Amino acid sequence: MRLSSRTARPWLRSLLLCFAATASAEPPPEHMVYLRTIDPTIEQDIRYASAHNFTGHPLDGYAAAECLLTREAANALARVQASLRTQGYGLKVFDCYRPARAVADMGRFATQPGDPRKAEFYPRVDKQDFWRLGYVARVSNHSRGSTVDLTLTGPKALPAATWSADAGQVDCTAPYARRWHDGALDMGTGFDCFDERTHTDSPLINSTARDHRRLLSQAMEKQGFTGYSKEWWHFTYSAATQGTGTPNDVMDFPITSPDTGTALAGSQQLIVVTSKDWNDSRGTAQRYTREGQRFRKDGEAFAVILGKNGMAWGKGLNSVEPGDDPVKREGDGKAPAGVFKLGTAFGYDATAATPLPYLALTPSTECVDDSRSARYNELVDGAKTAKDWTSSEQMRNEPGYRQGIVIEHNTPATPAAGSCIFFHIWRSPTSPTAGCTAMDQANIARLLEWLDPRRAPLLVQMPEAQYAQWRERWNLPPR
């Protein structure tokens, strides 16, 4: 029975409001594009969508960790990437378009008490001096859409670490091996480091870092970008100021996840899972790889096990009005339906044969499923994190988590909308899950080897009838 607005439970009202907000979110202007739709091989680590930045909190307007740029700037950046890849290097972006409200948020932080990330990002600077020293602007070129903060990747880069709020703070000017491992080459300092060593031509850094800065600057300048003398990572597509016809006004639309069709356009790997109907706990999975404008099947289809109560619409990249269809909630025993990004791989072993970022589970690794917690729907080290939850999954207690992959459902988390959703090893071909998608160990191992974050992999999961309904609109491949 459909509940009236007066009698609907609070969790359902909030979740339906979430769907409505997603459907009605302000779209980007036509001249702005998601970078991953232009070149999905450029890595992204959008710092202001997380708390790992100099303010210690996600900035206003960053509802998704996505890089948006003007189409001209994105195409130019793709040319830089192509040039660098012939030399064995690549790009990783930290920030692109920045809503004006985020710039204002930075300004508020600089005038308020508290320095939660000072030890890492500005150990020798008072934040009241940010403007005077040129580290923070009252109006940022980022808000015009053609400015990007980025770094250089390569085979000699230390692997990227997985950041969490309880990570220790190390001075951003510390030696390369000691400071935060962002997956980039040694550039002399970390990103967002407020220090003289970040000046592009600083004599205070080693020769290796100077060479890397020079390589990055030359590659960017060749394609029309101009650097900023006080920040080695900061470049503006200079053609944007020379009468290209592209609007050059300050913008303030929020950064949200791309609509499903746009996300698929930027993806080169899909895993499609379908079931007979909403209540079926068994499904079939098929891998796809992009060839030009189409996806081709990659390997044979294989069996999966879903939630014990089937599926329900979840919170991912899709924008749907659920109507009479079920909606995913905490503890309902349903796997989420929709389109989802794939996150970190995890497992019992110290390492794994996978291009995905990898988390080695320890006896104290937990996934928080208490929706009242600030860490709801997060993997945390319970031995190192101040606990504000009463319920969690002890990850090393579940044999199926010997190998797994995070499905980014309900990210960022809406309370009670569902948590701790993974690909993992099944107990048996007939044992349903509490809401995850499980499979034979050989198939999970195959996924770990196949999935590549540079190819923007996605999970598309829903009953057959809904897949047929949305296939054309979302440009999904035929089953």
Summarize pLDDT for 28-54 with one digit per residue, the tens: 888 999 998 888 889 999 999 999 999
pLDDT for position 1: 28
Q: Is 195 exposed, middle or buried (0-12, 13-18, 19+ CB in 10 A)?
A: buried
Distance CA 116, CA 373 (A): 20
Which amino acid, one-letter code, is at 245?
A: G
Does residue 23 surpass a pLDDT of 50?
A: no
∠192-198-201 over CA atoms, to 5°?
150
Domains of the chain: 30-241 (3.30.1380.10), 260-470 (no CATH)
Lowest mean pLDDT among 83-87, 209-213, 253-257, 447-451: 253-257
Rounded average pLDDT over 281-307: 95
Helices (H), 90-162: 100-111, 118-121
Q: In the structure encoding, which two tokens stand for residue 76, read together?
A: 């130019």
Higher pLDDT, 471 or 171: 171
pLDDT for position 19: 36
Does residue 11 surpass a pLDDT of 70?
A: no
Rounded average pLDDT over 88-98: 97
Does residue 12 surpass a pLDDT of 60?
A: no
Catalytic residues: 231
Distance CA 133, CA 194 (A): 9
pLDDT for position 398: 94
Distance CA 177, CA 160 (A): 12
Q: What are phi and psi of 49, to 5 degrees?
A: -85, -5
The pTM score is: 0.59
Lowest mean pLDDT among 18-27, 335-344, 451-460: 18-27
Of 56, 54, 36, 43, nearest to 357 (Cα)? 43
pLDDT for position 63: 84
Rounded average pLDDT over 412-428: 94
Question: Could you write out the DSSP letters of every residue in 240-281?
Answer: GGS--SS--------B-PPPHHHHHHT-SEEEEEEESSTT--
Using pLDDT thresholds of 50, 70 and 90, give the confidence band for residue 258. confident
Exposure b/e, 57-81, CB count within 10 A at least 16 = b? ebbbbbbbbbbbbbebbbebbbebb
Using pLDDT thresholds of 50, 70 and 90, give the confidence band for residue 275. very high
Sheet holding 392-394, edge to edge: 379-381, 365-368, 392-394
Lowest mean pLDDT among 10-19, 71-80, 265-274, 448-457: 10-19
pLDDT for position 245: 56
pLDDT for position 110: 86
Q: What percent of the chain has pLDDT over 70?
A: 92
Lowest mean pLDDT among 29-33, 142-146, 463-467: 29-33
Does residue 4 surpass a pLDDT of 50?
A: no
Strand partners, 404: 346, 424
pLDDT for position 359: 94
Question: Could you write out the DSSP letters of every residue in 162-223?
Answer: PP-TTPPP--TTS-TTTS---SS---SS-TT--SGGGSTT-TTS-HHHHHHHHHHHHHHHHT
pLDDT for position 380: 94
Lowest mean pLDDT among 124-128, 206-210, 295-299, 395-399: 124-128
Does residue 265 surpass a pLDDT of 70?
A: yes
Instruction: Count other Cβ atoms within 10 Å, centred on residue 425.
Output: 20
Does residue 14 surpass a pLDDT of 50?
A: no
Q: In the structure encoding, which two tokens stand for residue 150, read together?
A: 């980025």
pLDDT for position 239: 67
Contacts of 424 (CB under 8 A, 6+ apart): 398, 400, 401, 403, 404, 405, 433, 436, 437, 438, 444
Rounded average pLDDT over 203-208: 97
Contact 47, 94 (CB under 8 A): yes
Mean residue pLDDT of the chain comes to 89
3-state secondary structure 29-92: CCCEEEHHHHCCCCEECCHHHCCCCCCCCCCCCECCCCCEEEHHHHHHHHHHHHHHHCCCCEEE
Using pLDDT thresholds of 50, 70 and 90, give the confidence band for residue 350. very high
Using pLDDT thresholds of 50, 70 and 90, give the confidence band for residue 449. very high
pLDDT for position 53: 94
Does residue 231 surpass a pLDDT of 80?
A: yes
pLDDT for position 166: 80
